[in-house]
Chain A
Amino acid sequence: DQQVKQNSPSLSVQEGRISILNCDYTNSMFDYFLWYKKYPAEGPTFLISISSIKDKNEDGRFTVFLNKSAKHLSLHIVPSQPGDSAVYFCAASDNNAGNMLTFGGGTRLMVKP
């Protein structure tokens, strides 16, 4: 049973526009959320994170929003660049469970020039 879900397997946006990637979770014990970016034949690389005590975290072009009541988070990329094309994984952890990450299935983002 998937505790973290990314319902859009792929997303295509035009360069310069906003990319919005969504993630839903079911486990209310999750208290930390992360986004990872993955290129083919490479390991996931950390992008941005947010604690459950916050509802927004921003780092340059990347902003993560957390809606705890809806158990939903999203990643906004503005403006999108062709180099952002990759698979994005949402992940969540529970501090009381060893901080192991539970991943969503990923969303493939394609940014067209």
Chain B
Amino acid sequence: DTAVSQTPKYLVTQMGNDKSIKCEQNLGHDTMYWYKQDSKKFLKIMFSYNNKELIINETVPNRFSPKSPDKAHLNLHINSLELGDSAVYFCASSQGGGPGKAFFGQGTRLTVV
């Protein structure tokens, strides 16, 4: 079984649309994240979320919002998509309470046309 899974793997959509990317982890971790890898291949944190706290990278536009129906899921909603949102988005999870490695999903390549 895949530890962290994302759907879809590829997403092509038009500017102005609203889309969601789903993420599920079966590791029992209590903290989940969304990272963005831009065209220059830099991986940057977007959100960190557990059942107590949402930490938002201040550079993330408010068109992006994480939604967590339960501890094992953290979906990413994006409103009014823009060309510059095209990137690969990675979901990750880790066990909270201290430093530790994060496990990543396979990524979702979003292309806005």
Contacts and interface: CB of A to CB of B under 8 A. Distances in A.
Interface of A: 31-32, 34, 36, 41-46, 49, 51, 87, 89, 93, 95, 97-103, 105-106
Contacts of B48: 98-100
A42 B87 CA distance: 14
Closest 9 CB pairs of A and B: A43-B104, A32-B99, A103-B43, A46-B101, A100-B45, A98-B48, A98-B55, A100-B48, A44-B104
B25 to A, nearest CB: 12
A20 to B, nearest CB: 21
12 contacts: A32-B99, A36-B104, A41-B107, A44-B104, A89-B43, A99-B96, A99-B98, A99-B100, A101-B35, A103-B35, A103-B42, A106-B41
Contacts, number: 61
Interface string B29-68: 0010101000011111100100001010100000000000
B102 interface: yes
A105 B55 contact: no
A34 to B, nearest CB: 6
Interface of B: 4, 31, 33, 35, 40-45, 48, 53, 55, 57, 90, 92, 94, 96, 98-107
A93 B35 CA distance: 14
B105 A99 contact: no
A92 to B, nearest CB: 10
Contacts of A105: 40-42
Contact of B99 (A36, A45, A95, A106): A95
Contacts of B104: 36, 43-45
Contact of A49 (B55, B98, B101, B106): B101
Contacts of A87: 41
A101 B53 CA distance: 16
Contact of B94 (A89, A97, A99, A106): A99
